A = this chain, B = another copy of it.
Amino acid sequence: MNDTTTPDAGRLADLRIDGDRLWRSLMDLAAIGATPLGGVRRIALTDLDRQGRDQVVAWFRAAGLEVRVDPIGNIFGRRAGRDAGRPPVVAGSHIDTQPSGGKFDGNYGVLAGLEVVRTLNDRGIATVAPVEVAVWTNEEGTRFTPVMMGSGVFAGVHRLDEVLARTDLEGRAVGDELQRIGYAGTAPLGHPVGAYFEAHIEQGPVLEDSRCTIGIVTGALGQRWYDVTVTGMNAHAGPTPMRLRKDALLAASRLVGEVNRIALEFAPDGRGTVGFMQVSPNSRNVVPGEVRFSVDFRHATDDGLAGMDRALRAACERVAREVNVAVAVAEAVYFPPCHFDAACVGAVRESTRALGFTHLDIVSGAGHDAVYVARVAPAAMIFVPCKDGISHNEIEDALPADLAAGCDVLARAMLARAGVA
């Protein structure tokens, strides 16, 4: 079935990670950059990021991992396998946070990987392929764009020199800041990866709503973003009869409804969101002459996104005619849909079933480092519930039992791919 040795059912049936140790490490890391409301502010390539990295590297070394850092600052901690020629089976995520971020987004994937290594050490389990834990640089993209910077450079999506030259609002460059915090490494960029697993809180409400513990992530939605500008004519709200208006907000509002309708037509994987809207002149008694708004479409397939695109453009033309305004649609971003590796997804599913957790297949609506890694290696993700589906927020929360369950699934899936020696 796999090209690696299947875990010995007898020996591994009772393999469980240490949920308390995982939780303590999460809380210890969350203390670096802790915010008053219980969240974390540890923005990429700041002093706090360095402190967080130093802590994780210290834990890696204490667990016997060989630590390497590549030129974009990605950190890899490797546990040797019996067959040094095999590419490693990697678990990872990121430890940078949003400005008002939580304790779990990213951090969980890194520390779950570390907990797997610690458990293998405790049990004296050797693997055929090496096992590795990865910390990707600047996933959040808060201070420096692009988002998912480290994994994007690793996967060849972005050029290293271009990304090193990116600056923040104060003009400081990625390359200089990596030097400053001591994480401009020299390890070869983009080494081979045998399989990649990323455990992550769901950042949405589906698992909680379905009362499931594990989300078996089969892929990530593609994203197609637009900037729409509606141009009508400013007019006094009083003297201008309804029939002589060119009301840009009336047209934009109809299009918000159309975006919603289109998403529902492309159910269940369609998403349509207008998150940003700017009205001009935005005065109580003036019919708005211009409205700019964003459209964020997501779908599991390119065909779905193409259909949503056609429906949006048709709706814009129709509403422009109906309301007597001009509507301009500019495409801003296109992320193609991602389909995770069948064997990796299968390893997650079999591990989940073997452990007896409630589960459902889920497509990630958000981007993750795994989406870029999937371009160069077999990859999959494991989701666990987060409270009320809330993330990117200081009140982000998750249950210790759910985090431990996801880590148990991760351990079994990694062993399935790495092979027990």
Contacts and interface: CB of A to CB of B under 8 A. Distances in A.
Interface of A: 202-206, 209, 221, 223, 225, 234-242, 244, 247, 249-250, 252-254, 256-257, 260, 263-264, 267-268, 270-279, 282-288, 294, 296, 298, 364-367, 389-393
Contact of A282 (B204, B241, B277, B288): B277
B242 A365 contact: no
Nearest to A223: B238
Contacts of A392: 236
A257 B263 contact: no
A129 to B, nearest CB: 31
A293 to B, nearest CB: 9
Nearest to A272: B242
B366 A239 contact: yes
Which of A263, A272, A273, A278 has the most C-beta atoms of chain B within 10 angstroms of its own C-beta?
A273
Given A209-B244, A257-B257, A239 B202 contact: yes
Nearest to A283: B275
Contacts of A389: 235-236, 239-240, 244
A221 B221 CA distance: 52
A237 B296 contact: yes
Q: How many copies does the complex hold?
A: 2
Nearest to A244: B205
Contacts of A209: 244
Given A275-B283, A288-B275, A260 B247 contact: yes
A201 to B, nearest CB: 10
B271 A275 contact: no
Nearest to A237: B273
A206 B250 contact: no
B279 A277 contact: yes
A323 B42 CA distance: 36
B284 A240 contact: no
Contacts of A256: 249-250, 253
9 contacts: A203-B236, A203-B238, A204-B241, A204-B244, A239-B365, A240-B271, A240-B389, A249-B277, A285-B296
A263 B239 CA distance: 14
Contact of A205 (B203, B240, B253, B277): B240
Nearest to A205: B244
A181 B163 CA distance: 61
A250 B260 contact: yes
B241 A268 contact: yes
B277 A239 contact: no
A379 B131 CA distance: 89
Nearest to A264: B242
Given A202-B239, A203-B236, A275-B283, 11 more contacts: A203-B238, A209-B244, A225-B284, A237-B296, A241-B268, A242-B271, A247-B260, A249-B277, A250-B260, A275-B288, A277-B277
A285 B275 contact: yes
Which of A206, A242, A270 has the most C-beta atoms of chain B within 10 angstroms of its own C-beta?
A242
Q: Which 8 pairs, one residue from A and one from B, show the smallest C-beta to C-beta distance?
A: A204-B239, A238-B365, A253-B256, A237-B273, A253-B253, A239-B365, A238-B366, A284-B294
B249 A274 contact: yes
A169 to B, nearest CB: 17
Which of A203, A236, A279 has the most C-beta atoms of chain B within 10 angstroms of its own C-beta?
A236
A252 B277 CA distance: 12
Given A239-B202, A240-B205, A267-B242, A275 B287 contact: yes
Contacts of A272: 242
A176 to B, nearest CB: 28
Contacts of A390: 235
Contacts of A271: 237-238, 240-242
Which of A238, A286, A367 has the most C-beta atoms of chain B within 10 angstroms of its own C-beta?
A238
